[in-house]
Structure formats: structure tokens, C-alpha cells
Homo-oligomer: A and B are copies of this chain.
Amino acid sequence: MPTPAETEALLLSLRVAVWSVLGSLPPAIAIAWLLARTRFPGHALLNGLLHLPLVVPPVVIGYLLLVFLGRRGPGGVFLENVFGITLGFTWQGAAVASAIVAFPLMLRAIRQSIEAVDRRLEQAARTLGASSANAFCTVTLPLIVPGVFAGMVLSFARSLGEFGATITFVSSIPGETRTLPLALYAATQVPGGEPQATRLVIISVALAMIALVGSEWLARRTRHYASGGP
């Protein structure tokens, strides 16, 4: 049985990962479409920039987030004053950090699946009166559901494992920002913390396996559905 602290970290991890995935989904779909279906100057550059969270170590991302979206950062001040949102040292901030780190994964998966959709179907939709956007929503989007799922799962999994950006941006405050990986870190930093660390790894892995196996099942169902099963 998980201890209360473990349960707390578990629930927090879940909350952070879910919001991180849901929050990055709309921009990921929009940008994936942009990258897959349009050509514009700076296309490759934008694509490159969007992959940077993958390349730059998470700690650096966390640091940049701290500088820009922290309580004293320009973005942080803006969000605070205009929307009353505080990201620094809150779980929302952890979700933002996770989302940014996982964004390239979601983007790639969705983009790839958009590219696999036969454009001729969109053409058919347009001759039937659907605008370009409507054709995307009613034809392309349902067809890429498996790809979107894939992207969401990747990004969810990545979020669950996110450590560096989170601890750097929002610290490791129990109940607020101390997700499973951060609790795991805390456990490994003290002598004799190994059993505790092992428990946390097992909890993480179990959670991830449930999510992955479940999503695989769901994806298969959706793929089945999208490709015309009964």
C-alpha cells in the first residue's frame, strides 16, 4: 500500500500529466496541421524550434521557464496581472513544464498521422461543401484519432517521467509540485532511501503501464473504428 505521501505524489503526477496532455493537445493539432499541410518560409525553422525541448536538457528548460514565467519573470508577471494565474511553484507550473518537454513528441505523432491521411478525402469533403477547416475537423481529425492517441500517450508518459524541468521551475513542494519523479529524487538523496525509491519506481511503472496498455487497447479500438470496423 502506498503511504499518504506516495499517494499524494501519485495523484499530483496524474493531475499534472493529464493537464499537461490536455493543454498541449489543441496547439499540437493546430501546429501539426500547419507543418503537415502547408508550406511557408520558415517552415523548417519552426519545426526545428518546436523540437528544441527534446534537445535541450530539461534542467535548462526549467531554468528558462523560471526566468521567463517565474514570479519575477516578464511572462510570469503578465500572467499574474492579466489572468491572475501563478505558475511559479504551483502544480499548474509543473503541468506547463511537462507540457513543454513533451510537446515535440505529441507534435510529431500527430503530424505524422496527418501526413498519412489521403488528401483526396479532404478534397472530396470540400466538393461536398466543407470548408478547409470543416474538412479537417470532420474528415482528417477523426481519421487521425489513433495518431492523436499515440501522441497523447507519448506525451502523458513523458510527463509522468518529467523531472529536470519541473524541479528547476517549480521546486519540489510536497502536495503542490512534488510529483513521483521528484519524490523519487528526494528518496535517493538521503542515505538509506533506496527502499522508498524502489517503491516509488514501482508505483511510477505501474501507473505508466496501466496508461500505456490501456491506451494501446483504446487506440486499437479507435483504429479499428476509424478504419471501418463494424
Residues of A38-86 whose CB lies within 8 A of B: 43-45, 47-49, 51-52, 54-60, 63
The contact size tier of chain A is 35 or more
Asked whether A154 lies within 8 Å of B56 as measured between CB atoms, the reply is no
Contacts known (A48-B209, A154-B105, A163-B164); A59 close to B216, Cβ less than 8 A = no
Stretch at the interface among A22-30, A120-128, A200-208: A200-208
Residues of A166-180 whose CB lies within 8 A of B: none
A55 CA / B105 CA spacing, docked (Å): 13
The number of times this chain is found in the oligomer is 2
Stretch at the interface among A3-11, A89-97, A107-115, A129-137: A107-115
What is the chain B residue whose CB lies nearest that of A208? B55
* Residue A88 at the chain B interface, CB threshold 8 Å: no
* Residue A34 at the chain B interface, CB threshold 8 Å: no
Asked whether B57 lies within 8 Å of A212 as measured between CB atoms, the reply is no
A208 CA / B44 CA spacing, docked (Å): 12
Asked whether A112 lies within 8 Å of B147 as measured between CB atoms, the reply is yes
Q: Which residues of B contact A216 (CB under 8 A)?
A: 43-44, 47-48
Query: Could you pull out 8 A-B pairs where Cβ atoms are within 8 angstroms?
Result: A47-B212, A47-B213, A48-B216, A56-B205, A59-B185, A59-B188, A60-B201, A112-B113
